[in-house]
């Protein structure tokens, strides 16, 4: 199975409905004026556990057989997916274990533990986290729920766009930040199935632009130790998400670090809502690429609001 089917998307949406928020769509005249577009912000920063990741993790956890569930779930995550999986496991009453880098923000560690999950710390490298996770899974038989390159997770993330196009039926485009591609590939599959006239766009930190390079070259590229404030977007596209992005995403716009911080602050000041840096990348991209968005009706997925309030970037 290389990607979720339309039936998988529908099943995921029904499976998770009782466990997640149907998040509101907000508008802001000041930001419409700043961008020349008509923007509809899908507020996943208000989602359970503070990010859209609740959707995919919940779908994965509630897709497990009773036998699988009894062995628990495990993942590696710098933050939001870990929280989301911890929360979903608690909702089903099963054990969750999250491998986190020692450098993860304290609020994210506390939140994972607050949902009752176990945390295993590792060095902040991909190799170290994989080693720690593999060892734990081999020991316990826990089910690995990947942060993005997992058909169950992608099907869950797809529910966000499904709500958005129901609430705002006449969009011209949708834009989401791109990290490992779980959200944008889910979004793209929903749009392809139900509103294929809508253009699907991505925004990416210039410092972690694997998806933009992949689309340009036609070959899946990776990020080499990216350094960006958008810590949720350091991952590279996966084996499952890349072909979906290649097939369905119109363009990916790169934004630099200053543009991300500027967009984040604009959202805080003008919309009075809290979004994390990774989340601001979508608005930064709308500001950076008016040729794609001006005079259009654009759904902007605000992905998450988990920020360390003691360490703001301004």
Closest CA to 172 of 82, 300, 314, 305: 300
- Can you spell out the DSSP letters for 129-176? HHHHHHHHHHHH-PEE--SSS-HHHHHHHHHHHHHHHHHSTT-SEEEE
Among 126, 221, 273, 297, the residue binding a second copy under the rule CB under 8 A is 273
Among 5, 6, 14, 24, the residue binding a second copy under the rule CB under 8 A is 24
CB 165 within 8 A of CB 134: no
Residue 268 binding a second copy, by CB under 8 A: yes
- The backbone region for 159, taken as left when phi is positive above 0, alpha when psi lies in -120 to 50, beta otherwise, is alpha
Closest CA to 298 of 36, 24, 40: 40
Q: Residue 52: phi, psi to the nearest 5?
A: -55, -20
Among 33, 138, 272, 311, the residue binding a second copy under the rule CB under 8 A is 272
Closest CA to 267 of 277, 257, 255: 277
List Cα–Cα distances, 184 to 49, 224, 296, in angstroms.
Answer: 20, 21, 19
CB 82 within 8 A of CB 100: yes
The count of residues interacting with a second copy (CB under 8 A) is 19
Tokens of 155: 């099907």
Residue 180 vs 305, nearer CB to a second copy: 305
Among 88, 245, 274, 288, the residue binding a second copy under the rule CB under 8 A is 274
Residue 51 vs 175, nearer CB to a second copy: 51
Which of the ranges 10-18, 43-51, 91-99, 153-161 carries the binding residues for a second copy, by CB under 8 A?
Answer: 43-51
Residue 135 binding a second copy, by CB under 8 A: no
Residue 309 binding a second copy, by CB under 8 A: yes
Residue 46 vs 121, nearer CB to a second copy: 46
Among 26, 90, 228, 297, the residue binding a second copy under the rule CB under 8 A is 26
Q: How far apart are CA 16 and CA 20, in angstroms?
A: 6
Tokens of 161: 């766009």
Residue 29 vs 227, nearer CB to a second copy: 29
Which of the ranges 6-14, 72-80, 162-170, 305-313 carries the binding residues for a second copy, by CB under 8 A?
Answer: 305-313
Residue 197 vs 272, nearer CB to a second copy: 272
Tokens of 174: 């949708």
Q: Residue 179: phi, psi to the nearest 5?
A: -115, -100
Q: Which of residues 104-123 bind a second copy (CB under 8 A)?
A: 107
Among 269, 281, 294, 299, the residue binding a second copy under the rule CB under 8 A is 269
Which of the ranges 44-52, 119-127, 166-174, 197-205 carries the binding residues for a second copy, by CB under 8 A?
Answer: 44-52
Minimum CB–partner distance for residue 46 and a second copy (Å): 6
Residue 25 binding a second copy, by CB under 8 A: no
Give the total residue count for the chain: 314
Among 50, 82, 177, 181, the residue binding a second copy under the rule CB under 8 A is 50
Among 46, 113, 121, 257, the residue binding a second copy under the rule CB under 8 A is 46
* Sites of contact with a second copy (CB under 8 A): 24, 26, 45-46, 50, 107, 265, 268-269, 271-275, 305, 309-310, 312, 314
């Amino acid at each position: 199975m290389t990607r979720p089917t339309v039936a998988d998307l529908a099943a995921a949406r029904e499976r998770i409905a009782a466990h997640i928020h149907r998040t509101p769509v907000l508008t802001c005249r000041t930001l419409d004026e700043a961008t020349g577009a008509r923007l509809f912000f899908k507020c996943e920063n208000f989602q359970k556990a503070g990010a859209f990741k609740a959707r995919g993790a919940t779908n994965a956890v509630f897709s497990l057989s009773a036998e699988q569930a009894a062995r628990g779930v495990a993942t590696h995550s710098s933050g939001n997916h870990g929280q989301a999986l911890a929360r979903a496991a608690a909702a089903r009453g099963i054990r969750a274990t999250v491998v986190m880098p020692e450098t993860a923000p304290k609020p994210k560690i506390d939140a994972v533990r607050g949902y009752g999950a176990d945390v295993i710390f590792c060095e902040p490298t991909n190799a170290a986290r994989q080693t720690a996770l593999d060892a734990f899974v081999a020991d316990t038989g826990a089910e690995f729920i990947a942060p993005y390159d997992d058909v169950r997770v992608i099907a869950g993330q797809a529910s966000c766009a499904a709500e958005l196009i129901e609430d705002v039926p006449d969009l011209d485009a949708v834009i989401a930040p791109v990290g490992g591609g779980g959200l944008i590939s889910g979004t793209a599959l929903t749009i392809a199935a139900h509103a294929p006239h809508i253009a699907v766009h991505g925004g990416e930190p210039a410092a972690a632009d694997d998806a933009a390079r992949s689309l340009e070259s036609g070959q899946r590229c990776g990020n080499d130790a990216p350094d960006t404030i958008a810590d949720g977007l350091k991952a590279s596209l996966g084996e499952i998400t890349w072909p979906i992005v290649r097939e369905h995403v119109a363009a990916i716009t790169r934004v630099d670090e200053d543009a991300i911080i500027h967009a984040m602050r604009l959202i805080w000041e003008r919309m009075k809502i809290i979004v994390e840096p990774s989340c601001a990348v979508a608005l930064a991209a709308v500001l950076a690429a008016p040729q794609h968005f001006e005079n259009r009706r654009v759904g902007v997925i605000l992905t998450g609001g988990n920020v360390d309030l003691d360490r703001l970037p301004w």
